[in-house]
Structure 1
Amino acid sequence: MPRIEIAENPDEIRKGVEVIKQAWGVMDMSTIMKDLLTAIKFTGGLVLLAYEKDQVVGISFSLLAQRNKNFFLYSHMTGVVQEFRNTDLGYSLKLTQREWAIKNGFDLVAWTFDPLQGLNSNFNLHKLGAIARNYRRNHYGTMMDSLNFGIPSDRVVAEWFISSRHVKSRLNKKFKKYGELKNAVITEEKNDYRIPVDIDLELDDDYIAIEIPRDINSVKKKSIEDAITWRTMTSDVYEHYFSRGYALIDFYTENNRNFQVASKIIPEGIKRNIF
């Protein structure tokens, strides 16, 4: 008899998808996604759709989750079609998700995001008030989509404590000024973008800056090697400072350069790390 094991990594899970196709005779992944979303909804999760007249232009779906016997809402995907990407539709979807989560007794919504994506860092850390203090190397294994292909799928875990004072302040557009911060990622100009040349793991200030690319997608198109350099050098920075109790709490742009703010001072209302 074949042995049965719990899947432990994304590449193992991918092999299981091939069995799903054969066992149910389904070759179209859109059918699998539809069935999965239906199951999430049926078992108490949340599926939000944004409509422009009769056309669906945005989606967000979340499932019930637990980590170390702590229950939370896991927000797997929130996305909008191309024509609505420069609007507040994604923000509106997250606010609706937050309202539903509070009504249903949750205090934490979590998801993962690529910390090198500046737009995501701005949205998650600055605009929504999520924090991040856990780094996961190659979280999704090899990814083949246009946004993620070519470099390891490292992610940080966003923790959105939806009833905390920190989140309420951000949603009310009350933002903190940090002054000049020491930068843990030393970069230099290369053609029309910057690349990391060194890292500083000796900083001990309450607040420090971590520089990320202005546009990692543009870097990948021009030099996949430089994009990989960004990934490998920053991964050491995140893991080091997270292990010392720092958390990403904010994002800012200065002189056309992107920076995340890492802090030893955890904002009020943020509960213990369950990840």
Structure 2
Amino acid sequence: MIALRELTTIKDLEQLEKIERNVWDMPPLPIHQTLTAVKNGGVIIGAFDEDTFIGFSYGFTGFKDGQTYLVSHMLGVEKEYRSRKIGEKLKRKQREIAINKGYSLIRWTYDPLETRNAYLNLTKLNGICSVYKENAYGEMKDSINKGLPSDRFEVHWHIASEYVLEKEVSDYSNAAALNKVSIADNLPVSTMFHNEQFNAEVYSLEVPMNFQHVKFKNYALALEWRINTRSVFQKLFAAGYAAVYLIPGKYTAKYIFVRKNTLQLGGHS
């Protein structure tokens, strides 16, 4: 039985170090920083299997354009516990605690070519993305991110909105396709054919289902995916569209984009 609880003490926070090293192969966050965050509106949640610490989420307070929100900065789960919806449970617990603390919006970033994260953030949690951050963190040297520009989608999770609470699954079969994908040596290769004029109600764009595998097998192809999708994502967002859904497949996954002004977001940006 997996249990979740908020972490608030030095002893609690010392437990993060092991997972930070195991998941990202990186030096741990200083305790004085995480402790200060939780004492000033931040939220750190631990996941436990009995007495074994197996994962956490970490968020701190953000402020922009007159609005306070929670910045969900890190979420990590030990390898042997992945694919058991623990990440989703951590996010839903984070939403519950954030609402109790008075937040109405949570923001975080993720690599748009990491489809496991995209599926959780958009399809499961009903977050949306309409902000693209090119090489957001500069050169990253951890095991997951090293070797490519650290481009990111910024997720806006309107945790008290109608969109999150009452989103209905739509039929996206008629979405206008923005690229075509062929499979060569079990790797997806994309031909872009998007139109400069975006006027459809719904668009789709295919990305690799397993980007880390593509990067391992063919670095040049992975870089091509990064640069080509960057251009399309930026143009879509500039035209007023938002990413709202991801449909997984065998070799690729399909992003769905709709006009942001059609979403019931409760008036928040």
* Secondary structure of 1:218's aligned partner: helix
Structure 1 unaligned residues grouped into runs of 5+: 1-27
Deviations 1:33-72 (A, max 9, x none): 3222112112221111111122211111110110122110
**Displacement of 1:149:** 1.0
**Contact persistence 1:122–1:252 (CA under 8 A):** yes
* Secondary structure of 2:30's aligned partner: helix
Distance 1:140 1:199, change over 3 A: farther
Please tell me the residue identity of whatever aligns with 2:241.
Answer: Y
Greater CA drift, 238-247 or 183-192: 183-192
Distance 1:270 1:137, change over 3 A: farther
Greater CA drift, 256-265 or 148-157: 256-265
* TM-score, structure 2 normalization: 0.85
**Displacement of 1:89:** 1.1
Query: Within 2, Cα distance between the matches of 1:204 and 1:272?
Result: 24
Greater CA drift, 81-90 or 224-233: 81-90
Matching residue of 1:245: 240
**Contact persistence 1:199–1:237 (CA under 8 A):** no
Please tell me the residue identity of whatever aligns with 1:94.
Answer: K
Matching residue of 2:6: none
How many pairs are equivalent? 242
**Pair member with larger Rg:** 1
**Displacement of 1:161:** 0.3
Query: Within 2, Cα distance between the matches of 1:226 and 1:185?
Result: 15
After superposition, the CA RMSD in angstroms is 1.7
Matching residue of 2:225: 230
Query: Within 2, Cα distance between the matches of 1:169 and 1:117?
Result: 26
Matching residue of 1:264: 259
Query: Within 2, Cα distance between the matches of 1:92 and 1:135?
Result: 26
* Secondary structure of 1:50's aligned partner: strand
Query: Within 2, Cα distance between the matches of 1:157 and 1:269?
Result: 16
Matching residue of 1:125: 122
Matching residue of 1:22: none
**Contact persistence 2:187–2:251 (CA under 8 A):** no
Please tell me the residue identity of whatever aligns with 2:264.
Answer: E
One of 181, 196, 209 as aligned partner of 1:214: 209
Matching residue of 2:66: 69
Distance 1:254 1:223, change over 3 A: closer
Structure 2 unaligned residues grouped into runs of 5+: 1-25
**Contact persistence 2:215–2:221 (CA under 8 A):** yes
* Secondary structure of 1:150's aligned partner: coil
* TM-score, structure 1 normalization: 0.83
Query: Within 1, Cα distance between the matches of 2:64 and 2:158?
Result: 15
One of 102, 105, 121 as aligned partner of 2:102: 105
* Secondary structure of 2:45's aligned partner: strand
